[in-house]
Amino acid sequence: MALPNELYWDILTRVFADSVHRVCFPKSYELDLAWELNALSTFFRVSHSFQGITADICQKMYGSPDRGKNAVQSANTRLNFLRHSARRDIVIIFDEEKFKTPFLQSYLLLLSIVQMRKIMKVPSTPTLFRYMHTTIFRSVDTLQRIITLSKPPELYLNLAGSSHMQADLIYISSELVHEVDDLQGNLTALQEFTPDHDEADTYMARIRLNMHSVDDFVRKYEVVAALASRLTGPEVKVYELPGVLSAMKRIRATISPFERDIQDTLEIFEEVTDGWTMQEPSDEPPIV
């Protein structure tokens, strides 16, 4: 018994949307994506009814066809552009007339957001990182507005999930870099005092508070990054965020002379850095 056209339409919408997402964010660049790249062509040839449904979905995803090409041929050209954009550090649009649909604009924006986040790791400085993350967060807000207003919602399920993950990562990483910056300041201040100085206790207390916050943000970041990696590929490691590794490498040497009450701080340090590579990137600014 034939299924209703509405159900075919819903199924194919999800299939085509999933194919585009896998093309933009493959598990590996060596992965064979022939099926995903040819999904439209494949279903277009199944039957007359599938041809009509495919053409309708294709129009919503990719817009009007180029002169001299049918809808599927034009769509495949634009999909290949997305595929090549995913391999670049920056997405560059040469012909904006071909990328006017909310669906295409959303993927180009998501690719830009993910790529900008990934190039803002070390050796980027915390100051530049914070400045850029403000810009990236505005882009995420724009993306989420486009997704909310666009139809049909089935086309935007992967985009919605990815945008929420990116928003969470931006917030957590910004808070973590801010906390690590504060930790750096307290470590530097502590070095000005001898172990028996009254002010040393004040800064040790601040460092302990910093470490508790860092531990909390690191745990949150790693959970969200693990989930996001399933949608948008490999994530920036938490110790690759600007200033994080530099601060962690200062902890033990800086607080060791102050033997009063440091065990709790060192235990947090061990938990936070468990599994990290402590090899500092050669381009990272030197530890002060």
Compute the average pLDDT of residues 233-262: 83
Smallest CA-to-CA distance from 55 within 68, 74, 37, 36 is with: 74
Q: How far apart are the first and last CA of the chain?
A: 73
pLDDT digits (tens, 9 = 90+) for 163-209: 999 999 999 999 999 999 999 899 899 888 877 777 888 888 888 88
Q: Evaluate if residue 285 carries a pLDDT over 60.
A: no
Read off the pLDDT of each residue in 52-69 and give the average, rounded to a whole number: 85
Looking up tokens 């085509």 gives: 16
pLDDT of residue 283: 44
Contact, 170 vs 136, CB < 8 A? Answer: yes
User: SS3 for 157?
Assistant: helix
- Show contacts of 41-49: CB within 8 Å, 24+ apart: 41/72, 41/76, 43/12, 43/15, 44/72, 49/5, 49/8
- The pLDDT value recorded for residue 288 is 31
Per the CB < 8 A criterion, the answer to whether 120 and 130 are in contact is no
The more confidently predicted of residues 260 and 15 is 15
Q: C-alpha angle 280/281/286, rounded to 5°?
A: 70
Token code pair at residue 187: 């470590």
Query: What are the domain boundaries of the chain?
Result: 1-100, 109-288
What integer pLDDT is reported at residue 90 of this predicted model? 62
From 55-59, 200-204, 255-259, the region with the lowest mean pLDDT:
255-259
24, 85, 141 from 109: Cα distances, Å: 12, 11, 11
Quick: pLDDT tens for 72-129. 888 888 888 888 888 776 666 656 667 789 999 999 999 999 988 888 887 778 888 8
- Confidence at residue 38, expressed as pLDDT on a 0 to 100 scale: 86
Q: Render pLDDT for 22-44 as a digit per residue (tens, 0 to 9).
A: 999 988 777 788 888 888 888 88
| Angstrom distance (rounded) from CA 288 to CA 277 | 20
Placement of tokens 């486009």 in the chain: 146
Chain mean pLDDT for the chain:
84
- The CA distance from 153 to 14, in Å, is 10
Question: For residue 183, which amino acid is it?
Answer: L
pLDDT tens by residue, 125-161 = 888 888 888 889 999 999 999 999 998 999 999 999 9
pLDDT for res 15: 92
Give the residue, 254 or 221, on which the prediction is more confident. 221
Structure tokens at 212: 């508790």
Q: Residue 30 in 3-state DSSP? A: coil
| 4 φ/ψ angles, rounded to the nearest 5 degrees | -65, 150
> Are 56 and 75 contacting, i.e. CB atoms less than 8 angstroms apart?
no
Question: At residue 262, does pLDDT exceed 70?
Answer: no
Q: String of b and e for 152-171 (b: at least 16 CB within 10 Å)?
A: eebbbebbbbbbbbbbbbbb
